[in-house]
Amino acid sequence: ENPAYQVEFDTKIDAGGYIEAKDWMPEAYRKTLIRQISQHAHSEIVGMLPEGNWITRAPTLKRKAILLAKVQDEGGHGLYLYAAAETLGVSRDELLEALHTGKAKYSSIFNYPTLTWADIGVIGWLVDGAAIMNQIPLCKCSYGPYARAMVRICKEESFHQRQGYDLLLQMMKGTEEQREMVQDAVNRWWWPSIMMFGPHDKDSVHSGQSARWGIKRISNDDLRQKFVDATVEQAKVLGVTMPDPELKWNAERGHHDFGAIDWDEFWNVVNGHGQGNVDRLAARVKAWDDGAWVREAALEHERKRAAREHQ
């Protein structure tokens, strides 16, 4: 460790400045960023699967075009994030290897199945809504390449959230059966969505250090509360109810109270035993294996190009 560099780093962090790829940084800071950014990248890539499942069954051409664009955006987010992680000295191959062998985590939410078309709307509204709540503060996180990637990602996420809410508003104007389909999807996705913010602050192992380093600007519980407060109002406009009898406004706190989260379910999913974990990983590994010829062809093309240049 170099104390002079450490002082420079701490001063920059305390002043709310950005650390850049070539700046000196503590090893633990680098490791934390690689962990978080790569988990985030994996979440985007695995997150393409539950919605990709509905592209061929979208009810109209307009909805299909929207869904296709959204799923492609998620692929793009994964790529910017892998690139941001690579600036920290890790290779994309190493990161993908960790995903494919089940060593790396990705967001719990993407292990739930998409059973009906209403799920597509609810993912946009609740899942992307929760993602934005968590990701807006990351646009100001202390690591420059991550912060800058998050700016564009958040703009695209807000389009994703809007399209989901719009889809649901339209279904709510439809038949009784369609309204029931929306309510059923809300019932299944509400709890997993609020679990996305991670464990309670008191149980969050990384929060203290990440806050100190300016990676985490707002805590897991505070973000979850902001999300609940914002979403309850949107549910009223939509005409759906959340599956939580304890959800109610608390005038004293100026926030909504809500029921206890089932952390056994959360950890069960995080540790690989949710409904979709096995299928999600198998789909990613298959895509990687099926794409081997593309990687080989690209390398061969590059080899020939380099050989021509040296002639």
Residues that bind ligand ACO (CB under 6 A): 35-36, 39-40, 43-44, 47, 105, 107-108, 131, 134, 195-199, 204-207, 210, 216, 220, 270
Which residue lies nearest ligand ACO, judged by its C-beta? 198
Q: How far apart are CA 241 and CA 92, in angstroms?
A: 42
Q: What angle do CA 146, 110, 130 make, to 5 degrees?
A: 60
The helix (run of H) or strand (run of E) holding residue 250 is: strand 248-250
Minimum Å gap between C-beta 273 and ligand ACO is 13
What are the structure tokens assigned to 3, written together?
A: 């104390």
- Rounded to a whole number of angstroms, the minimum distance from the CB of residue 5 to ligand ACO is 25
Nearer to ligand ACO, 49 or 186 (CB): 49
Distance CA 248, CA 217 (A): 27
Q: Is the separation of the CB atoms in 21 and 145 below 8 Å?
A: yes
* Residue whose CB is less far from ligand ACO, 178 or 200: 200
Q: Residue written as tokens 């059966």?
A: 177
When the beta carbons of 172 and 226 are compared against ligand ACO, the nearer one is: 226
Smallest distance, ligand ACO to C-beta of residue 286, A: 21
- In the three-class reduction of DSSP (H, G, I as helix; E, B as strand; rest coil), residue 218 is classed as coil
Q: What is the smallest separation between the CB atom of 100 and ligand ACO, expressed in angstroms?
A: 17
Q: Give min distance, CB of 292 to ligand ACO, in A.
A: 26
- Which residues lie below 8 Å from residue 8, measured CB to CB, with a gap of 6+? 24
Give whichever of 216 and 256 is closer to ligand ACO, judged by the CB atom: 216
Pairing of strands 248-250, 255-257: antiparallel
Q: Which is nearer to ligand ACO, 152 or 241 (CB)?
A: 152
Beta carbon nearer to ligand ACO, 149 or 195:
195
What's the closest the beta carbon of residue 309 comes to ligand ACO, in angstroms? Answer: 40
- What does the alpha-carbon distance between residue 29 and residue 143 come to, in Å, rounded to a whole number? 10
What CA–CA distance (Å, rounded) separates 55 from 244?
Answer: 31
Instruction: For residue 177, give both structure tokens.
Output: 């059966």
Report the distance separating Cα 87 and Cα 84, nearest Å: 5
3-class DSSP state for residue 121? helix
Closest approach, Cβ 190 to ligand ACO, in A, equals 15
185 versus 269: smaller Cβ distance to ligand ACO: 269
The residue among 136 and 186 lying less far from ligand ACO, judged by its C-beta, is 136
Q: How far is the CB of 303 from ligand ACO (least distance, A)?
A: 35
Of the two residues 165 and 179, which places its CB atom closer to ligand ACO in the complex? 165
The full DSSP string for 45-83 is: HHTHHHHHTTGGG-SSHHHHHHHHHHHHHHHHHHHHHHH
In angstroms, give the least distance from the CB of 269 to ligand ACO: 7
Amino acid at 99: L
Query: CA torsion, points 263, 186, 279, 117, in degrees to nearest 10?
Result: 180
